[in-house]
Structure 1
């Protein structure tokens, strides 16, 4: 049986599994991928996955828990009406690690005494898996105020726009994580085989064999206390369009300088995600960028006109994490 999973929610990441059944992923965002068999997958707003399952003569629960573990949706797969299967208990909520919040630098701060960071204030932050729209407090980090500070140990490879330094941006990450094999907060070492972007390989390779003629780097920014969201520190109404030249091949680099995962969606053109070493990975229209993560993808500007480019979390998009793209 082939199931098409579509996250049509407004603000929720779902972690989906069918206890008792393996799922073989065969499409991502409508594009064929090399089959990969997993127990569970995380699906961001606007993402789609097609999976193949082989059910027996029994009932099964399709279980989709929210990232912050405050709720779930469930459905039933059965051979006849009236059958139902047990519904699992949601997993325990987990807090963000220092590496989640500070990138590669955070790995060296794992033993840091949070009490020495009492000036931080993200008391409205959903630390437990970052279920967007249900903001819970973050244990051990109450009162921390980044005040727009850049993380120490800055890498010369990271370029921050001047517009990132202001009240709408409460942190910047100078040593972002680049790996694609991290399933994300709440899914690590849970005893199940969880899908990651590193598992996804689009069949047939890239749609365009050319390398990029230029690069565009943008930072996903926000202020957790003010709950403002932007790109390079500028909300949509303050920004100018991003310009692509018609027919060009361009590399886009996104840095997530926030503590939330953002499903970034570029309308009109495919985003071809690259591995950390620059190899073609997977073709998608929506790419989840985890906290303190850097991703890069190639775009062929083959669609003339004005296009939307935004975080697909509704409140983030409405608050300003949105840019216009002009292809001319």
Structure 2
């Protein structure tokens, strides 16, 4: 079928709502192969009808029940075009409320789809009409923001085609949507975590490992190490809260046994649009024998960078281009705790397979992940500059030796923050000095990172010693100059906090249900948001409604993202232009962390910045 990419874009209006168009799409836009299309049936056009209902799906040969959109797992692949206005009629056929959040999409806040923040939600039997113009292109996704429905299959990919010619044009493309599936009820999973947070961790250290460490490091060192972890009430193998003990890891709705397969012709350039739509799983992705050229992060173009492996946090997206030879390849997505994997095959012909790599040894946390020993390990604040452009002086900011118990949280810029008291200056002048900050102690805060540092340049846990290239955040550079290169007028600091023993997660020690006021931004201002991870787990932090620039040593081409993984013991910053008036969710995208309280609201108000 001689159907070019240009014709598809020009004739996008021929599609009608709810009609599967896989046979009409050109080869580069098809999902899967002719015999393996389940869960990735695309819809294109401007008007869509979506129905949310309880339905079942077959996962690795076993039937599971969930909350699905149009009875598909994943939900339909939506293909939009930049510049169009889309209308989506979403009908709720459940017995409880539902919603759809358009992740990473710039839109009016009333269309953002977060119940209790931007709209009331969609009641049973009701239809809500989303309508908004498309201001961007790239790889994105959508999911429920109601209860724990996202864990039950309520998520799907969406692609926005650029209005102009795509500089990364290829002969073929596939969406690679990663997710985690449990046959348990998600609320039961959460209840187990509240009762025993390490319920799903069956990779804990053994007596044999203690004797091994005693031989290698000495008995006293091994004993001290165990006592230290016990004192912190943490486990060095506690990499992921929910593991392969209950999860089946999926690619495009297919488990490892299903082996989703994408076909190509040798010599073709193939674009793989990776989306991590998991509830709780961070993946390390590689295709053995095939270099990966990263060309897009979170929907926005980056200067192409070649690597062999990358980590993708929950809610992140990465587009990579590969040029495979005439043989089969295994696409390996290994959970970051090495408890399981999702896999697929890229092959020139159906029926071909490649060897599946064995799971690598599970990693363990160290004192570095407690932010206890960065100085002796040679870490630095590379990539983190102060508000006036110089290196950050942590001592001057009150970190490290500050008396955390003696400070008044209410005055520090979060919760009931007093912006006038912060005395920000004009965005065009010299930026105000960073504010010393602390958060209250309480049952939701077990410990503080004594010496947090910037870790953007570091490989993720478990990938430090790989002998191949591994992508890090400082490898990313925006292809286009940042739209706003002003220095921030003020800096806010927010701590990621937890009590893992009681499975309590929060910002600044206060869970979402107990927060009195939102974080307030003023329309048009530049704000530096500094995140300090006081926990020993990585957190993918997501801001709705706006992109942010990750603060690196670059001044005008910082990578722009909507989600970033903050490593344990890390202190890093993002710069935000508050250009979207409204109320926006800001949260950890680990679903059970958000559910437990790791969420805030950012309110962008149409007022002048107080002076």
TM-score class, shorter: 0.7 to 0.9
Please give the secondary structure, in 1, of the residue aligned with 2:474: helix
Where do 5+ consecutive residues of structure 2 fail to align?
1-269, 379-398, 404-433, 606-611
Tell me which residue corresponds to 1:44: 313
- Aligned pair partner of 2:488 in 199, 209, 212: 212
**Shift of residue 215 of structure 1?**
0.9
CA 158–301 in structure 1, closer or farther in 2 if over 3 Å, else same: closer
CA 33–277 in structure 1, closer or farther in 2 if over 3 Å, else same: closer
Tell me which residue corresponds to 2:185: none
Conservation of the 8 A alpha-carbon contact between 1:158 and 1:174? no
1:185 matched to 2:461? The reply is yes
Q: Distance in 2 between matches of 1:265 and 1:153?
A: 27
1:154 matched to 2:401? The reply is yes
**Shift of residue 23 of structure 1?**
0.1
Q: Distance in 1 between matches of 2:595 and 2:346?
A: 36
**Shift of residue 285 of structure 1?**
0.3
Please give the secondary structure, in 2, of the residue aligned with 1:281: coil
Tell me which residue corresponds to 2:324: 55
Determine which structure has greater relative contact order: mean sequence separation of CA pairs < 8 Å that are 6+ residues apart, divided by chain length.
Answer: 1
Please give the secondary structure, in 1, of the residue aligned with 2:558: strand
Conservation of the 8 A alpha-carbon contact between 2:533 and 2:571? yes
**Pairs within 5 Å for 1:79-228:** 79-103=348-372, 105-106=373-374, 108=376, 153-154=400-401, 159-163=436-440, 165-228=441-504
Tell me which residue corresponds to 2:297: 28
Tell me which residue corresponds to 1:287: 564
Deviation per CA, 1:199-241: give whole Å up to 9, x if none.
Answer: 0001122220211111111000001111110000000011121
- Aligned pair partner of 2:591 in 314, 318, 322: 314
Of 171-180 and 257-266, more deviation after overlay is shown by: 171-180
Q: Which runs of 4+ in 1 moved over 2 A?
A: 105-110, 152-162, 276-281
**Shift of residue 108 of structure 1?**
3.6
Tell me which residue corresponds to 1:271: 548
* RMSD (Å) for aligned C-alpha atoms: 2.0
Q: TM-score, normalised by structure 2?
A: 0.45
Conservation of the 8 A alpha-carbon contact between 1:177 and 1:294? yes
Q: Distance in 1 between matches of 2:401 and 2:524?
A: 35
CA 38–94 in structure 1, closer or farther in 2 if over 3 Å, else same: same
Conservation of the 8 A alpha-carbon contact between 1:262 and 1:289? yes
Where do 5+ consecutive residues of structure 1 fail to align?
111-151
Count matched residues. 285
Q: Distance in 2 between matches of 1:21 and 1:294?
A: 34
Q: Distance in 2 between matches of 1:284 and 1:320?
A: 23
**Shift of residue 247 of structure 1?**
1.1
**Shift of residue 155 of structure 1?**
6.2
Tell me which residue corresponds to 1:257: 534
Conservation of the 8 A alpha-carbon contact between 1:62 and 1:77? yes
